[in-house]
Chain A
Amino acid sequence: MIILDANRLEQAMQRFAGIVGEENVWRGEEAAHGYKDAFAPRDALSYAPRGAVAPASVEEVQAIVRVAGELGIPLWPTSRGKNFGYGGGAPRMREVVMLDLIRMNRILEVNVEMGYAVVEPGVGFDDLYHYLVDNDIPLWISAPAHTWGSVLGNALERGVGYTPYGEHASKVCGMEVVTGTGELLRTGMGALEGARTWQLFPYGFGPSWDGAFMQSNFGIATKMGIWLMPEPEHTLNLAMAFDRVEDLPLGVDALRPLKLDGTVQANPSFGNIIRNLAVRAPRSAYYQGSGPIPADVLEQARVDSGVGHWNFSIRLFGDKAVNQINAEKVKRAFAHLPYEFEVSEWHRGEPLRGSGSPTPTLGALGVVDWLGGPGGHLTFSPVSPFSGAEAWEQYTTIRGMYEDAGFDYYGGFTAGQRYLNHISMVVFNRNDEEMCARANTLFSDLIETAASKGWGEYRTHTLFYDEVARTYDYNNGALRRWNETVKDAVDPHGIIAPGKMGIWPRAYREGQS
């Protein structure tokens, strides 16, 4: 930790104000409360920032970075700050100034013919959705469970949605980045002045850097191209609920061939019963005792609510005739299970709600009210092989750890093509210090146990960057050392998001040692 000198910080804030206007810089409590982790598992102000500055243009970002480099003031970029469960917009540590990019909220281009958009960091999923709908543009967004967040920020954090374009990081094509010295570069084909294929061909010439600016602190993304899915003629949804917990492996193994051969292009998610119950009512509606809900109570809640222990939908997107053929293939793949699909269809021209196109929603935030108090959640996200046996081992291991620690297991498996994102949430009451402590301990134990079994997290909460980064330890941490080498080279002042993903600039590493 490097403590910021108060005089130097104030000097920087005054110079930032000269760049963006006094009305767009914040100090003290205003900054701390504005950018704290709203669902913090410990004192939120203990890792809230010392200040904040909100530029409105690329040129202002460059000017701020140059001042920060000159004065040694670390900046923590945030797009919209809605990465809830992973720390929101909060920084890794208190001794930073937030670089809030929410005022950079222009949709710079939507190309209908080529199916892409170019957005600034402050553009939310809701903004892009409304823009496409209001202008009758036949392209669909893909969005995560809630739509309050940034299109750019979510893709750079490798967020996941539920359409065939749901692996958001893979749909990024071309970025503009401000470097640690305030220079401006464009990735891929954008490096060619006047390029006509910046958002069309993702690789460019030579090393491809888009991936290096995701989940990293090597630069500040100020523009991003994102491919958008052409509106399909038809969607067909096959929903199924499993009455028995132990049927998860059957479902996973039935789905895998359909994902591998492309029959199912979207990302179905097997959600457990509590994920389903939590959007209907708080926990007290089902159980008033302490500790995890007993199995018999959960079974009764399942019967009473008419849900499954696992609930999922396989949605097919495309031409109606093709969807109908593929639906029969899906049904055959699941025919050995003792359940029926509930089938629904959507045709172009009908209201979008229910189509599979994301529509604005904050419903997923319901989880934070599960315990009925001021809730918080920590999201634990290991990746599983796309195998029923492997998913079952991961599920039983992790659920057991949740319950041993006194928590309900809330989670699910979202299908990629060859992997499953196993996303679970430790839900706690922020006013209950003992429960918060248990949540933190459980989270650290989960990281350690998962790593010992060869399971790594694809994303984590700000407070646990170092712990997760340490588990990626092949060859004595060769990847960490590589990241540090790159960090020192591209951010010589060490001012961009120190500690992000466990990557610390040299000065901090030496300070730590």
Chain B
Amino acid sequence: MRAFAIAALPVLAFAAALPLAQRAQAQAGKSGQELFAERCAACHVEGGFGTRVLSRRVPEGQAELEKRETLPAALTIAVVRRGIGSMPQIREAELSDADLQAIANYLEKRL
């Protein structure tokens, strides 16, 4: 069984890699919350680098973006595209306008 699995894996691996290549199209079907978890959460959840930095700059309880009382979509978009403080900008080839808008809308509506 193990020998079969090893022999078959390179082919399986190639097949499984294909969705990665098609991500630009596939992302359109994801919700803002899912995209936030996928693209932003590495830094912007509890304990993340972004949350730690923000905790030194914003009122208590506001460092985690998903717990912000107010976070206008336009601000999220501007910060992501231009960068701010310790956060580098993220370009459109890396995060599409549609995906960024979905993330920004998700964060704005968590009022």
Contacts and interface: CB of A to CB of B under 8 A. Distances in A.
Interface of A: 24, 26, 30, 33-36, 38-39, 52, 54, 80-82, 84, 88, 100, 102-103, 105-113, 123, 126-127, 131, 135, 137, 282, 360-363, 365-366, 368-369, 372-375
A405 to B, nearest CB: 22
A111 B10 contact: yes
A495 B43 CA distance: 37
B49 A365 contact: yes
B17 A108 contact: yes
A216 to B, nearest CB: 24
B10 A105 contact: no
Given A105-B20, A366-B49, A38 B13 contact: no
B9 interface: yes
Interface in B38-85: 42-43, 48-49, 52-53, 56, 81-85
Nearest to B48: A362
Contact of A34 (B12, B49, B53, B91): B91
Contact of A113 (B6, B14, B81, B82): B6
Interface of B: 6-7, 9-10, 12-14, 16-18, 20-21, 23-24, 42-43, 48-49, 52-53, 56, 81-89, 91-94
A112 B17 CA distance: 14
A106 B21 contact: yes
Contacts of B20: 105-107, 123, 127, 131
Contacts of B18: 106
B42 to A, nearest CB: 6
A105 B23 contact: yes
Contacts of B16: 131, 135
Contacts of A35: 91
Contacts of B89: 33-34, 36, 38
A362 B23 CA distance: 22
B49 A106 contact: no
The listed residue with most A CB atoms (<10 A of its CB), out of B17, B82, B93, is B93
B81 to A, nearest CB: 6
B17 A131 contact: yes
Nearest to B84: A374
A368 B81 CA distance: 19
A88 B88 contact: yes
A330 B10 CA distance: 38
Contacts of B43: 362
Contacts of A52: 91, 93
B45 to A, nearest CB: 12
B50 to A, nearest CB: 8
B17 A26 contact: no
Nearest to A54: B93
A88 B89 CA distance: 11
A368 B85 CA distance: 9
Contacts of B86: 365, 368-369, 374-375
A5 to B, nearest CB: 25
Nearest to B17: A107
Nearest to A111: B10
A366 B88 CA distance: 12
Nearest to B8: A112
B52 A34 contact: no
Ranked nearest first, the 5 interchain pairs of A and B with the lowest CB-CB distance are: A38-B88, A34-B91, A110-B13, A54-B93, A106-B21
11 contacts: A33-B81, A33-B82, A38-B87, A108-B17, A109-B13, A109-B17, A111-B10, A112-B6, A365-B49, A369-B85, A375-B85
Given A34-B81, A131-B20, A374-B84, A100 B9 contact: no
Contacts of B17: 106-110, 131
Nearest to A123: B20
A372 B52 CA distance: 12
A137 B9 CA distance: 8
Given A112-B13, A368-B86, A375-B85, 9 more contacts: A35-B91, A80-B94, A113-B6, A362-B42, A365-B86, A366-B53, A369-B56, A369-B86, A374-B85
A225 to B, nearest CB: 13
A102 B94 contact: yes
Nearest to A376: B86
Contact of A103 (B12, B24, B42, B52): B24
Nearest to B50: A362
A35 B17 CA distance: 27
A105 B21 CA distance: 6
A478 B3 CA distance: 53
A362 B52 CA distance: 12
A60 to B, nearest CB: 13
Contacts of A82: 88
B52 to A, nearest CB: 7
A135 B14 CA distance: 11
Contacts of A360: 42
A135 B49 contact: no
Given A103-B24, A105-B20, A362-B49, A372 B56 contact: yes
Contacts of A103: 24, 93
The listed residue with most B CB atoms (<10 A of its CB), out of A106, A123, A137, is A106
A113 B13 contact: no
